[in-house]
Chain A
Amino acid sequence: MEISSILGFEELLSTERLLSLLQAGVTLILGFAIARLVARGIAKAIEKRVDAQQTMLAKRLSFYGVMGLVVVSFLGQLGVDLSVLLGAAGILTIAIGFASQTSASNLVSGLFLMTEQPFVVGDWIQIEDVVGIVLAVDLLAVRIRLFDNTMVRIPNESIIKGRLTNLTRFPIRRADINLGVAYKEDMERVKTLLFEIADQHPLVLDNPRPQFFFDGYGDSALDLRLCVWSAKENIVDVRNAMRLQIKEVFDREGVEIPFPHRSLYAGSVTEPFPVHLVDIGENGRQP
């Protein structure tokens, strides 16, 4: 028996076999090109109706879908028995399934996020103690840019399982300014001053009206809260400006914002504790 026969080169080099190899190769190349064209066509058709993330997902899914068919056709033309592959694929699937539970969970969570859309790219969101701007909603994770310009990647599964706050979902937002004033202050006067400060700031909405809350009798001050509304893009400026303006006006009007303090009483109300100034000698020691 000749070596070429043992090695099967004769069979390989037969015209029929060469033709089928060529055919398979052409199928693969053409299929790849068609897959790319289909993916681009689908992306172009839907990009005006959906956001960038969904367009990218549709493009990838359509490309891989068409390529899957192309690969099956390619293998079929090469004479590969696909039933054997299917059997092996079944076993492989189980193995991969066990190994990629987390990824699969993230993938499914990502699909839910894309359909439910609790947030979109550009929104400010808070997940636990992470606050930032959504950069991208990917298949497995969401990328967020923090305000110090660092990037955080949060798996989709964590977002679906946990609590998420969308800080920019609605067009207007309320800023709550907590402050304390001394017990001796006239509350009506303080309330009037706070409302005047809010009315004078053009970025504070006059509707809904600012609200004043008396939250309680604190240890060192009367606890108050001024709530003002603004457009969501102005919320940070408004919060800062209001706090600055309150300090300025209170200083000018003589309204005390006390710092934490303790009053000492010896039983019932007594005279103030006597304090004697001690003369410190030249060398810094007591005489």
Chain B
Amino acid sequence: MTDEVKPESTWNRSFGIAEGDRRFWQVGPFRLWAWVLPSELRLSFARGDDPLEATLAIEGPGRCRDIPEGAEIRRFGFRRPPSTLELVPALADRPVVVSPEEPLMLPPDEEITFFVSTPLWVRVVAGPAESVVLDEPTHRPSDSWFGGSTMEGELCYGSRTNARMNLENLPVRPHRAVSVVRVMNGSGTELKIEKLRLPTPQMSVFMTAKGHYWTEGVTLEPNEEDQPVAVRFGQGPPTEAPEAALAAEPRSPSQRGVLTRAFASILQ
């Protein structure tokens, strides 16, 4: 039986699944199938061509749409196959580089706020040990490089969407999280902002009752030239979504507080 839910419902929760059952989820462009066999859990996934597709669908247990040819299948062995699967959101496993629509000049002692949307990863947790058996992006962003030169820098993801200055211009999608990024220019000179590096592995995911995803706010404070940029993370959900509850911890919380040292500026 299909129990397709309304778009306001959430996908990050536990789902019961018995042996012989099949379940399906669509989170934006990401499509996921799960079925349980004796001593085995099978997961299959595929992605649509449109990275901004905003569909949310949940089907099963029981009959659900067919797995397309070419979808990747992964098999997991269990002594006793899991009876529940939990889907958990996560942010990108590398920093994400975002650009404003046009480069922006920020005078000294000024600050500006950007709203950035980045794709979520879907983690599937199964088994008594709560193992993460799958950790896949809803949309695989393009690789990108962030650094002063091609010899020194960091491998990141590139975002297809721009950093916006108006939250209303940022559509809400079930597979993307919105980050509020404040840039405070304490360097004493005019700052040209062409790209922002969002430290997503160190950020948490929050979710509102309507199923909208946010991260904590981030403040970037470039100081003197050639000095590391201070990165401050907000505590809890952003002020734009104070009612949002914690949905996932950061991937690498221990890296917080480490100043960016590899290159002159987190902003280019």
Contacts and interface: CB of A to CB of B under 8 A. Distances in A.
Interface string A189-214: 00000000001011111111000000
A241 to B, nearest CB: 13
Interface in B35-87: none
B155 A202 contact: no
**Chain B contact residues: helix, strand, loop or mixed:** strand
A230 B146 CA distance: 13
B140 A205 contact: no
Given A199-B142, A202-B140, A208 B150 contact: yes
B177 to A, nearest CB: 20
A171 B155 contact: yes
A207 B151 contact: no
B188 interface: no
B140 A207 contact: no
Interface string B17-44: 0000000000000000000000000000
Contacts of A74: none
B153 interface: yes
A206 to B, nearest CB: 4
A58 interface: no
A207 B151 CA distance: 13
B211 interface: no
Contacts of B195: 207
B142 A231 contact: no
A265 interface: no
B97 interface: yes
A205 B144 contact: yes
Contacts, number: 41
B243 to A, nearest CB: 35
Contact of B150 (A172, A201, A204, A206): A172
A171 B263 CA distance: 15
Given A206-B158, A207-B97, A207-B158, A231 B143 contact: yes
Interface residues of A, number: 16
Most buried by B among A172, A201, A230, A231: A172
B142 A204 contact: yes
B145 interface: yes
Interface string B126-161: 000000000000001111111000110101001000
A207 B141 contact: no
B145 A208 contact: yes
Nearest to A230: B143
Contacts of B140: 202
A89 to B, nearest CB: 49
Contact of A202 (B97, B143, B150): B143
List 5 A-B pairs, minimum CB-CB distance, nearest first.
A206-B158, A206-B142, A207-B144, A202-B140, A170-B151
Interface of A: 170-172, 199, 201-208, 229-231, 234
Given A199-B142, A205-B145, A207-B144, 7 more contacts: A171-B145, A172-B150, A205-B143, A205-B144, A206-B144, A206-B158, A207-B158
29 contacts: A170-B151, A171-B145, A171-B155, A172-B150, A172-B153, A199-B142, A202-B140, A202-B141, A202-B142, A202-B143, A203-B143, A204-B142, A204-B143, A205-B142, A205-B143, A205-B144, A205-B145, A205-B158, A206-B158, A207-B144, A207-B145, A207-B146, A207-B158, A208-B145, A208-B150, A229-B145, A230-B143, A231-B143, A234-B143
Interface of B: 97, 140-146, 150-151, 153, 155, 158, 195
